[in-house]
């Protein structure tokens, strides 16, 4: 029996299979795109030193997401190998199980926080760029434009981390201990805030950015290369966030019922954001550095490729060039 017939005969709806296919497609992109992203980023490292530091922060987000997901994967293997042995769990296995669960929970929570920060930064940068473009003398024009990351970003990380801990506790208390009306109200507020930040604002970002991009395309000869580059980078990030989010939401709506739609949306977007956020950053970055990528693919050399990635290049190595004119922000 072929795969198509198995899908038809299966009790699992086609929308669920589509969701699974989307998951595996994300996994494939997740694994294949990283080397090219690292290569282009290493090539542009000197040129991007004049960029706002928030751009480099996206690179840190990508690396941290890969490290955390690898930690989760290895911890899952350790947990499976520890608990798959027939018979009762010995006293020596308990510390390994506790360590594995800890190494799964904390990285997963950290990935959720990174995704929340990414969505917030995309929105704040969109608002900032709109203000800067249409109201150049507005006080908001220097927001997130400094060479050093604003200090408040780390407070936002702490806020989101504590917020997620509170959310986990509330859901745990709601299902296992308490059923107070106050808890229900707080959970509804928490769900609403999550939907606004991770869905509604994400849909607004490309809409707000479109007038800027349209104006840049019409007057590209009057703008610096760096100015156009940064706006294109942020615009395509917001578009890709919208695209991946829309795909996930549509698939989740098709497989869920009216009673559990909100729970499915929150759980589904949290799960897929962990995979799609690094992909979005990398694809948008590579799309804005097509010249480097084209030169790499037309004259591909394994030795040079991995030498650049691992920082083993010498002075005689010639890198592709992207000429950007620095501007003062």
Alpha-carbon distance 30 to 68, whole Å?
13
The reported pLDDT for the residue numbered 140 is 53
42: Cα within 13 Å, side-chain hemisphere: 20
With a CB cutoff of 8 Å and minimum separation 6, the contacts of 205 are 122, 123, 126, 238, 241, 242
53 and 149 in contact (C-beta within 8 Å)? Answer: yes
- Give the other-Cβ count within 10 Å of 210's Cβ: 13
Q: What is the pTM of this model?
A: 0.80
The reported pLDDT for the residue numbered 67 is 94
Comparing 281 with 86, the larger pLDDT belongs to 281
Alpha-carbon distance 253 to 260, whole Å?
10
Percent of the chain with pLDDT over 70: 74
The reported pLDDT for the residue numbered 315 is 45
- Give the other-Cβ count within 10 Å of 280's Cβ: 25
- The position carrying tokens 């042995």 is 85
DSSP reduced 3-state for 146: coil
Q: Where are the domains of the chain?
A: 3-309
Q: Which of 24-28, 100-104, 211-215, 318-322 has the highest mean pLDDT?
A: 100-104
Q: What is the mean pLDDT of residues 111-135?
A: 84
The reported pLDDT for the residue numbered 87 is 55
pLDDT band for 4, please (50, 70, 90 cuts): very low
Q: What is the mean pLDDT of residues 28-57?
A: 83
Percent of the chain with pLDDT over 90: 12
The reported pLDDT for the residue numbered 84 is 61
Residue 58 has pLDDT above 80, yes or no: yes
The reported pLDDT for the residue numbered 61 is 92
- The position carrying tokens 């434009």 is 145
The reported pLDDT for the residue numbered 21 is 78
- Residue closest to 83 by CA, chosen among 69, 72, 94: 94
Lookup: tokens for 287? 């799309």
Name which of 182-186, 192-196, 253-257 the model is least confident about. Answer: 182-186
Q: What is the mean pLDDT of residues 266-272?
A: 83
118 and 157 in contact (C-beta within 8 Å)? Answer: no
Q: What is the mean pLDDT of residues 145-169?
A: 78
The reported pLDDT for the residue numbered 89 is 58
The reported pLDDT for the residue numbered 318 is 43
Name which of 151-165, 284-298, 310-324 the model is least confident about. Answer: 310-324
Lookup: tokens for 195? 């939907």
User: What share of residues in the chain are helix, strand, coil (percent, to 5)?
Assistant: 80, 0, 20
For 287-298, write each residue's pLDDT tens digit.
Answer: 888 888 888 888
For 191-237, write each residue's pLDDT tens digit.
Answer: 788 888 888 888 888 888 888 887 777 766 556 677 777 788 888 88
Alpha-carbon distance 199 to 193, whole Å?
10
The reported pLDDT for the residue numbered 16 is 64
Lookup: tokens for 149? 């990351």
Comparing 60 with 180, the larger pLDDT belongs to 60
Q: For the chain, what is the mean pLDDT?
A: 76
90 and 109 in contact (C-beta within 8 Å)? Answer: no
Residue 316 has pLDDT above 60, yes or no: no
């Amino acid at each position: 029996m072929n795969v198509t017939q198995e899908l038809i005969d299966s009790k699992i709806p086609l929308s669920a299979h589509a969701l699974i296919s989307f998951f595996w497609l994300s996994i494939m992109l997740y694994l294949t795109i990283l080397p090219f992203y690292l290569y282009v980023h290493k090539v542009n490292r000197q040129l991007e030193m004049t960029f706002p530091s928030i751009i480099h922060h996206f690179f840190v987000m990508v690396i941290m997401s890969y490290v955390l997901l690898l930690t989760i994967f290895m911890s899952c293997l350790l947990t499976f190998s520890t608990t798959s042995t027939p018979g009762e769990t010995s006293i020596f296995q308990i510390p390994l199980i506790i360590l594995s669960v800890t190494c799964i929970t904390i990285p997963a929570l950290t990935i959720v926080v990174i995704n929340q920060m990414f969505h917030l930064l995309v929105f704040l940068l969109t608002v900032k760029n709109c203000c800067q473009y249409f109201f150049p003398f507005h006080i908001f024009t220097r927001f997130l434009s400094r060479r050093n990351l604003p200090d408040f970003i780390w407070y936002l990380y702490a806020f989101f981390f504590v917020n997620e801990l509170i959310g986990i506790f509330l859901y745990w208390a709601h299902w296992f201990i308490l059923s107070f009306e106050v808890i229900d109200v707080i959970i509804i507020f928490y769900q609403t805030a999550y939907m606004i930040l991770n869905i509604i604002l994400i849909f607004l970002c490309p809409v707000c950015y479109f007038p800027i991009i349209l104006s840049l395309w019409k007057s590209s000869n009057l703008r610096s290369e760096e100015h156009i580059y940064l706006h294109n980078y942020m615009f395509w990030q917001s578009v890709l966030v919208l695209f991946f989010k829309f795909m996930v939401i549509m698939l989740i709506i098709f497989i869920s019922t009216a009673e559990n739609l909100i729970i499915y949306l929150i759980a589904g977007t949290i799960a897929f954001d962990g995979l799609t956020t690094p992909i979005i950053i990398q694809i948008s970055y590579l799309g804005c550095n097509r010249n480097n990528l084209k030169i790499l693919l037309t004259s591909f050399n394994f030795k040079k490729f991995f030498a650049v990635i691992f920082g083993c290049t010498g002075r005689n190595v010639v890198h592709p060039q992207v000429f950007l004119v620095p501007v003062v922000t």
